[in-house]
Amino acid sequence: MWELAALLDPQVPLKLRESLSEEAYRRELDTHIRLVREYLSRVNHNVQVIQNWVAGEYPHMKGKYPEDYSRNERLVLEALETATELRIYAVAAQCKLWVWRVLRVDLWPAQHLPQVPNLGMLFGINLLVNYRRLTEITRTLSRNNSHGHQLICEAL
């Protein structure tokens, strides 16, 4: 996850822009965008795996009032909500990246070049914070099932 955090670091494009010619910067920005797309795709896959796993835990809670949920059941609910937010984020980010790709960022005027670090937060959803929280919840929930714990930790 730290690799994605590094790709979304606002200092990276500034340093690149200062150290490269405009043409080299545009090529590097295109590569940077492709890397971000790949990482976001992987994060989305992980979130989908977690969401499916946690959704399997949700039916056990059916018919209960939220105030009667156990700690683990509250974590299941939080995981489902966080995973749903991250899936919404992923769709929005992938659309934005797709537009940048289709409209050929290497041809844009310099003042309109996309700001990759702005992808860290979309629609009030903070990718890095939410993904870290989701993985924490998943680890906590999976500890109740040693086989599930091993599988989830390997997937993350």
Position 59 confidence tier, pLDDT thresholds 50, 70, 90: confident
- Residue range 76-83: mean pLDDT, rounded: 94
- Other C-beta atoms closer than 10 Å to the C-beta of 105 total 19
Lowest-confidence range among 84-88, 128-132, 149-153?
Answer: 149-153
Cα radius of gyration (the chain): 19
More confident residue, 115 or 34: 34
Is the pLDDT reported for residue 32 higher than 70?
yes
3-state secondary structure 10-34: CHHHHHHHHHCCHHHHHHHHHHHHH
* Percentage, residues of the chain above pLDDT 70: 82
Q: 121 forms bridges with which residues in the sheet?
A: 126
pLDDT at site 34? 86
**Residues of the domain holding 48:** 2-155
* Percentage, residues of the chain above pLDDT 90: 26
Split into its structural domains, the chain has a count of 1
